[in-house]
């Protein structure tokens, strides 16, 4: 498993979603929630919505505003219709103010 830098901690705001472009993986959604960092694919599996552009965090899940589906951003699991397929999810690591994903 390799570590790839996704962004700096200073790019993230608590409760917000940051878009990181990762070579070979495409766009990822990076979530900072209660000082923990999570990462999933950015594109909703129901349609083509970008979760970092059109999604928001509420009650421990990311809601896709296009059709109100939801995913657990900690695991990528789809948890509300019409979303059924999971998002790819990535382990994260924070070192010296930098956020890395494991691929
Ligand atoms: S595109 Fe995300 S719920 Fe439909």
pLDDT tens digits, one per residue of 20-63: 999 889 999 999 999 999 999 999 999 999 999 999 999 999 99
Ordered alpha helix ranges (H), 1-103: 51-54
Farthest-apart Cα atoms in the chain, separation? 39
Tokens, residue 18 = 């940051």
CB of 47 sitting under 6 A from ligand 1: yes
- Determine the residue of 42, 46, 56 to mutate for testing ligand 1's pocket, defined as the one with the most ligand atoms within 8 A of the Cβ atom: 46
Q: What is the pLDDT of residue 13?
A: 96
**Nearest Cα to Cα of residue 40 among 18, 15, 9:** 18
Tokens 């009650």 label which residue? 59
CA pair distance 61, 80, nearest whole angstrom: 10
Residue 1 has pLDDT above 80, yes or no: no
Domains of the chain: 3-102 (2.102.10.10)
Q: What is the pLDDT of residue 43?
A: 98
- Determine the residue of 17, 29, 42, 47 to mutate for testing ligand 1's pocket, defined as the one with the most ligand atoms within 8 A of the Cβ atom: 47
Please give the DSSP secondary-structure letter assigned to residue 14.
T
Cβ-based neighbours of 4, under 8 Å, separated by 6 or more: 22, 23, 25, 100, 101, 103
Q: What is the pLDDT of residues 69-102, one digit of tens each?
A: 999 999 999 999 999 999 999 999 999 999 999 9
Report angle CA 29, 34, 35 to the nearest 5 degrees. 75
Q: Residue 44 CA: which ligand 1 atom is closest? A: 2
């Amino acid at each position: 498993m390799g570590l790839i830098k996704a962004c700096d901690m200073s790019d993230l705001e608590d409760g917000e979603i940051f878009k990181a472009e990762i070579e070979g993986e495409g766009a990822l959604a990076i979530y900072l929630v209660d000082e923990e960092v999570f990462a999933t694919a950015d594109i909703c599996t129901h349609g083509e919505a970008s979760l970092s552009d059109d999604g928001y965090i509420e009650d421990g899940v990311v809601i896709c505003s296009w059709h109100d589906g939801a995913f657990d951003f900690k695991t990528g699991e789809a948890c509300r219709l019409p979303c059924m397929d999971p998002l790819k999810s990535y382990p994260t690591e924070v070192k010296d103010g930098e956020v890395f994903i494991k691929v």
